[in-house]
Structure 1
């Protein structure tokens, strides 16, 4: 009897996890990864500044699913089978120890993505997975119970099962080769991006970070809190990136021209007002010049400019601060208006919102409802997470689920 040939299209995180799982679950099957570029696992390599943010240390499944603007409901039962704890065990059982950073991100203790790449490649090799690079697949044609794969090189070959892990595409046309299989595609738009603010009234703050701010999309309920970083083109940092993920479709519909409201204190305006008023009466503060010392843990360079925007002169002492200037300062601190005009991709990591509509799949196996034997995993699906290891966790989970079911 001829052994089952399983083709995995895409040599990224989900592709490798799917291929390894399939080869280990169905040891008589032949498993081949087809990667269009010359290198596999390129996104793993650049993730987390070259350290690879493997997963997130969310302490429970309800906490874990909170990291997914799209796909949370679909992932919840899959996380019962393979979640972040299983990911930690999977890597540790193969000799890779992970560590947790204060914000919940998990990295290899080596702080090198090469550790993860080596682990996945060695696991694939041990399981007998064949890896073909510079082998892009142009078309999948279902022929009876088999599939004809057409490669960019002109080569054609028959396989029994296909796992598509080709990643996200920034353009809808990137999914054309899959749409021919009768799959419904959700139009892709960018997620996880930084805000460009060419008219930012604050100067020379590049590299200044604020510990915890509130970032809001004006006129909507969208709001996020967390660290924020000033860049030479605008603002970045976890609070901005998370807002961009949750608001991916809404911000795309605005063509990335919108007003963002920033609360540098992450406190309510009346609380900030009370604190500043008490400083005016405090013996330690009232004799000091307002611009000289920043409260609320705000960086001094930022504080000085916010004070200036509130029309407070350098020679103004706290005790002499007029009520109208105090109100202006509260407004600058808690409701700073940032005019956003465009976006920038976050480092080398692009994430898309959109892809294969999840209704196309059997939710327990990730097999196509319309084309038996065709499976999907990873970012090609309409699943995406906020920054912090969530996107890789979705890749590991969907790769494992598809891999365990594809040879059945």
Structure 2
């Protein structure tokens, strides 16, 4: 471990520099580039932890997997990867991105088929009349012509799997889901969407939804062709195993049965929900509408959500959920394996009582130690370039910590 600690000590964990990667080496995959999702950690963090704390062929898990940041950094470094998240949208996007890695598909030809399929839009046609179910709720988020273009793309999306094929369907889903946010007239960010604050009529602004969609298709195809080329040159095959064996699970890790993973996991790298900070589920309401799904169940299972910040028992519930998470991880991580938590580094608050968020995080860390994890290292990092468009306390986090624990006891 001393050698690994030395390596960890020499890392600029702020990553406030431009990375230069060799073309024959797997590069960190920034999932946020392809889909808008709040508070995902930068890919360099899990990439580096995986590279230093594990070996090719070992098993990596993220129990709060989101859209797959840890998952993809593991598979491109030839590790067996698992990603678990209760958010349906996150899991759907994660699976779709993973599907694109399938080497059987010629992505350049796939791109051509999608763009040709979406080349018959006519401005005078009313495509909105064919929208039904939950998708109807998208109407108030867009200017009139923009919504007509969105409706056109939705009509194409609804038949893509049947008319084109599986790979086209997954690329279409990612790109359409992404532009639902960027083409919206609500420019206030994810929190406004989470709170269902629709744009006012005098703020509606036309945006070129189809043009944005085409750009997204070209970008994801171009990038994933490069990722696949590097992986094929390396000769690794565990990334295909992770993708083909359904290692991306839409479940609540805190509540799920994990016996199949007992003693299998070598390294956990995860950024759990921060208490009272983010509404992951509600932030994706536009995509839930697209998928014609309700988010009530996912919402009830979410821990630490921002919308719960005024409830007295929110932090108690968060702590209980994280303790249960620690218990499960203690039983599935191998002896000598590692647990890496990326958690908020809260300043001492004016109301720094036993129930403050800082104190709750400290209790989560202390609980890890009580369950057989030895703290090997604590890394402080600031969040460079963070946009803070308001002064709300819950949105003003400037620093994070990376806790690195080693499993020293097999069962609790």
Q: Same fold (TM over 0.5)?
A: no
Counting strand residues as a fraction of each chain, which structure ranks higher? 1
Q: Mark the structure with the bigger radius of gyration.
A: 1
Calculate the TM-score normalised by the size of structure 1. Answer: 0.24
